[in-house]
Structure 1
Amino acid sequence: MNDTATATAPARAGREPAQVTLSSLEHYAYCARQCGLILLEDAFADDAATVRGTLLHQRVDTPGNRGRGGVRVVHALPVWHDGHGLTGTCDTVEIHADGTVLPVEHKSGRYHPGGPADVQAAGQAICLQEMFQRPVPRAAVYSSADRRRHLIDVTPELHARVLAATHAVRELLDTSTLPAPATDARCRRCSMATDCMPRVLARADRYGKALDSLFTPDDPEDDPS
């Protein structure tokens, strides 16, 4: 991990910066508006995919640790990074006999290389590196749909994506401004489409003009009387 990518979370008017959860990084990386709806309006809607995810995490989020050969496996480990103002919980952290620390994020859906899950998993690695004071150059995403683990290199570029998403989420919290809808293919598979109303809001200007035209008085010169 490149130390030059490290940045300290800025203080806001003499107060501590807002804490950003690792899960919100994934939401923001997927859709800024989805993240805003969850954080600002406490809105969340379940569908089949989110229910599968909840059931999966019920199995892996029970706190505790166990041994497996030369590997210590810790579940539901709270993590944080004071410098970046990050906080969250790792589904699984493997601590190997050679000192290797590997966070494993569990997902119910299919894995998409370079996708939002990479940002969340890399955020966990950044927190663990700070806490253990040793390099954590890799993270993993386990996909139950793929039934396999996908290893991720926490490159300087991915590190920068984590910090950029952290800054964006903090700005969202500080300004309480709900981002505009994406209105693209993501909306069709989003459980929050009903609350978001992307198609309606994307046409807001068109609807506004139509309403103005309906209620704009006629030009007096056009009055036949």
Structure 2
Amino acid sequence: MGDLPQVPLSALEHFAYCPRQAALILLEATWSDDAATVRGTLAHQRVDTPGSQSRAGTRTLHALPVWHDGLGLFGICDAVELHRDGVVLPIEHKSGRYRPGGPADLQAAAQAICLAEMFQRPVPHAAIYSGSDKRRHTIPVTDDLRQRVTDVTTAIRTMLTRQHMPPPAADKRCRRCSLATDCMPHALANTHRYRKALAALYDAPDPDPDGNPSDD
């Protein structure tokens, strides 16, 4: 990838959810915790510790660094199962509810793409473990999903290269975003109304004909 910016795996989910959220994290190093992010941090404590364990013919690696030179991706897999029959399965842990086809699918699929490159074997599935329902959701890594990973990676790299801050979403996504206070989505999205309110707030009273400020 030469000198082009490398893209962290976690950025794929952030960008797919909201490009501005990804930009705040990557370009301005902005991060704020809320109840959901704290739950996520606590849920990751076990899988974030590097190590491995074996059970019933399956070896599980925790906090495994992965990368893909061709796509310029890098990151860490929460857990990777190595099965006796040769199956390699990345498992991304999420504290909340799983949403089929949602942004988390991109991150999990990107992990599978990295592992396929590193192990030189197909990794046709990834999984997301939902802490909300305490079950594993298996995701087929289809050609369409691989293309989405490529497209989003390219979009993130373009954003990093141009140092471009995308506009705010100012929709229902903002209610679930821990960066809403830093982003100020509604203020920035409604620029005309926001400027009008500021003008009204700081507008000085007109002076009277004698040059004295009006008492009205």
Q: TM-score, normalization: structure 1? A: 0.86
Q: Within the alignment, does 1:180 sit opposite 2:167 as a pair?
A: yes
Residue of structure 1 aligned with 2:191, choices 169, 190, 204: 204
Corresponding residue to 1:98 among 61, 76, 85: 85
Matching residue within 144, 149, 155 for 1:157: 144
* Match in the other structure for 2:119: 132
1:16 positional shift: 2.2
Distance (Å, rounded) in 2 between the aligned partners of 1:137 and 1:130: 12
Deviations 1:104-161 (A, max 9, x none): 0000000000001100000000000000000000000000101100000000111111
- Aligned ranges for residues 83-122 of structure 1 at < 5 Å? 83-122=70-109
Give the superposition deviation at 1:66. Answer: 1.1
Q: Match of 1:47?
A: 34
2:69 — aligned with what? 82
CA drift of 1:24 comes to 0.5
Counterpart Cα distance in 2 of 1:55 and 1:180 = 31
Deviation at 1:189, TM superposition (A): 1.4
1:71-99 deviation per Cα after TM superposition (whole angstroms, max 9, x unaligned): 01000000000000000000000000010
CA deviation after TM superposition for structure 1 residue 179, in Å = 0.5
**Which amino acid letter does the alignment assign opposite residue 44 of structure 1?**
W
The CA distance in 1 between the partners of 2:170 and 2:44, in whole Å, is 29
Measure, in 2, the Cα distance between the counterparts of 1:169 and 1:89.
18
Give aligned pairs, total: 202
Shift of 1:205: 3.0
Partner residue in 2 for 1:219: none
Select the residue among 16, 20, 26 that pairs with 1:29.
Answer: 16
Contact 2:6 2:74 in 1 (8 A): yes
Distance 1:210 1:53, change over 3 A: closer
Q: For residues 152-182 of structure 1, what are the alpha-carbon distances to aligned partners after superposition, in whole Å with 9 as ceiling and x for unaligned? A: 0000111111111101110111011111011
2:177 corresponds in structure 1 to: 190
Question: Which of 54, 74, 78 does residue 67 from structure 1 map onto?
Answer: 54
Conserved in 1, the CA contact under 8 Å of 2:20 and 2:168? yes
Q: C-alpha displacement at 1:207, in angstroms?
A: 3.6
Normalising by structure 2, we get a TM-score of 0.90
SS in 2 for 1:59: coil
The equivalent of 2:7 in structure 1 is: 20
* Superposition deviation, residue 206 in structure 1: 3.5
Does residue 58 of structure 1 match 2:58? no
* Residues 1:207 and 1:22: Cα distance change in structure 2 (over 3 Å): same
Q: Which residue of 2 aligns with 1:6?
A: none
The SS at the match of 2:45 is helix
Q: Secondary structure at the match of 1:83?
A: coil
Q: Aligned residues: percent identity?
A: 64
Runs of 4+ in 1 over 6 A off after TM superposition: 209-215
